Amino acid sequence: MSRQIIIIGRPNVGKSTLFNRLVGKKLALVDDQPGVTRDRRFGEASLLGLDFTIVDTAGWEDDDPSSLPGRMRAQTEASLEGADIALFVVDARAGITPLDEEIARWLREQPVPVILCANKAEGRAGDGGLYEAFSLGMGDPVPISAEHGEGMGDLFEALLPYFEGDEEEEEFEPFDPDDEDAINNAPLKLAIVGRPNAGKSTLINALLGEDRLLTGPEAGITRDSIAIDWVWMDPETHLERPVRLIDTAGMRKKALVVEKLERMSVADARRAIDFAEVVVLLLDATRGLEHQDLKIASMVLEEGRALMIAINKWDVAEDASGLFNGIKAALDDGLAQVRGLPLMSVSARTGKGLNQMIAAAFKLRAAWSKRVPTAALNRWFDDALAANPPPAPGGKRIKLRYITQAKTRPPGFVLFGTRLDDLPMSYQRYLINGIRRELGFDAVPVRLTLRTPK
């Protein structure tokens, strides 16, 4: 569901201009005459990748500038009902007026978070008004220029906290990434994928063996797959930890022999990926890593799921260490975006490595769900830049200013700076690898988005 953001402010502060800027089209009418009658406008807006609905509350006649006009109040009040955030716009050039103060007083009583924007802040002429805006007691004003598109990065930063967690809620029960108990106690959504005959069904049966507490098969997630809730006893800590396992292929594959096997395993993987937090790609030690496996692995990573690889049938593997290292090298080669994926050897038949596999899956989910506080992130960032400054193609240095973690599950980071188009992939990889290795994201796919504040 799209967030709704409402623009509020006295006439002529630049509300429509801001609306146009965010919607990116000349939808609203801009006029120098204060109080031109306009309707409330809705637009689909996008700011550096945040998508929301924007509402321009212009549309009142302003006959008495010293008091909040009744029409404005009524209309704004009505608009506020559906709003998630209010952007309160003041004019940094004109300074704070009594009407601004009245709107501020009124806004403080409304049950909606307010972001104060000091518009027309381009150049120096807005400095005075910007400082005055602090006196409204609505937090730090965000200096912007709607007309020139300045300060949009700062506005993005101010909005970001209200958007965090959006994507998690759609697919997974949200939990506080800082609450380790909540993370550990939420059932781990785990999928085992792999080519036909890799041993998926055998593995699932082994996991659910007699010593496991099976809490009962659940209704189908889709027609072709079932979820099984069970409890894994961690042999290290003796803690019981809930797991929800998806079984796609196992149950039905015997009935559907006519279907093309290759295609089936990819389709199964796709279904499993939709469901899972962590995906285990099961390989067959007697066959090694095949093209199809890489295809499934890339798909898992592209969907932002935490991926680990288990080589099954280790009990019959020949030249075990050669095989292991060969697969490791082929994975690093074929999936260059995430070197060092967790790779382990298991045997569904003997049970070898299964506890380690589940333990690793829990660990991987914790990393996948982790959030680094912005301050710590930027301390690391400053060090990383000092240790290896960004290049200066053509003698012009690329300025990297700030980094923030915009989301978890999977972790996504936004890097702010200028001339980012020239930032080489190798440098982005340097940062991503640093984030993964030094900030505890381990083998999780980490996304980095580059943004140049306008």
Terminal C-alpha separation, the chain:
27
Nearer of residues 58 and 83 to ligand GDP, judged by Cβ: 58
Indicate the Cα dihedral angle 299, 425, 165, 234, nearest 10°: 60
Restricting to residues 351-390, name those near ligand GDP by CB under 6 A.
none
Nearer of residues 94 and 420 to ligand GDP, judged by Cβ: 94
Our finding on whether 62 is near ligand GDP (CB under 6 A) is no
Nearer of residues 67 and 185 to ligand GDP, judged by Cβ: 67
CB of 212 to ligand GDP, least distance (A): 17
Residue 9 is assigned to a ligand binding site: yes
In eight-state DSSP terms, residue 434 is: H
CB of 204 to ligand GDP, least distance (A): 8
Our finding on whether 453 is near ligand GDP (CB under 6 A) is no
What are 240's strand-pairing partners? 233
C-alpha to C-alpha distance for 438 and 269, rounded to whole angstroms: 31
Nearer of residues 22 and 366 to ligand GDP, judged by Cβ: 22
Among 2, 31, 325, 373, which residue interacts with ligand GDP (rule: CB under 6 A)? 31
Restricting to residues 145-184, name those near ligand GDP by CB under 6 A.
145-148
Tokens of residue 127, six digits: 């400095």
C-alpha to C-alpha distance for 302 and 339, rounded to whole angstroms: 14
Ranges of beta strands (E only) in 177-330 are 188-194, 213-222, 225-233, 240-247, 278-284, 306-312
Among 275, 334, 343, 274, smallest CA distance to 307 is for 343
HSE value, Cβ hemisphere, 13 Å, CA-based, for 440: 11
Our finding on whether 23 is near ligand GDP (CB under 6 A) is no
Among 53, 76, 225, 312, which residue interacts with ligand GDP (rule: CB under 6 A)? 312
Helix (H) or strand (E) holding 241: strand 240-247
What does the DSSP assignment read for 94-107?
T---HHHHHHHHHH
Q: Which stretch binds ligand GDP (CB under 6 A): 63-71, 226-234, 309-317, 386-394?
A: 309-317
Among 200, 305, 370, 436, which residue interacts with ligand GDP (rule: CB under 6 A)? 200
Residue 127 is assigned to a ligand binding site: no
What single-letter amino acid sits at 95?
Answer: G
Phi/psi at 119 (nearest 5 deg)? -85, 170
How many other β-carbons are positioned within 10 Å of the β-carbon of residue 241? 17
Restricting to residues 214-273, name those near ligand GDP by CB under 6 A.
249-250
Our finding on whether 11 is near ligand GDP (CB under 6 A) is yes
Residue linked to tokens 């829990």? 362
In Å, what is the CA distance from 179 to each residue of 50, 114, 134, 183, 187?
26, 27, 34, 6, 15
Residues in contact with ligand GDP, shown as a per-residue x/- string from 133 to 152 under the rule CB under 6 A? ------------xxxx----
Q: Is the peptide bond before 65 cis (omega within 30 degrees of 0)?
A: no
How many other β-carbons are positioned within 10 Å of the β-carbon of residue 135? 12
Q: Which stretch binds ligand GDP (CB under 6 A): 96-104, 180-188, 197-205, 267-275?
A: 197-205
Restricting to residues 65-94, name those near ligand GDP by CB under 6 A.
none
Among 198, 289, 403, 415, which residue interacts with ligand GDP (rule: CB under 6 A)? 198
C-alpha to C-alpha distance for 193 and 249, rounded to whole angstroms: 8
Residues that bind ligand GDP (CB under 6 A): 9, 11-17, 30-32, 58, 119-120, 122, 145-148, 194, 196-202, 249-250, 312-313, 315-316, 347-349
Q: Which residues are annotated as a binding site for GTP?
A: 9-16, 56-60, 119-122, 194-201, 247-251, 312-315
| Binding-site sequence positions | 9-16, 56-60, 119-122, 194-201, 247-251, 312-315
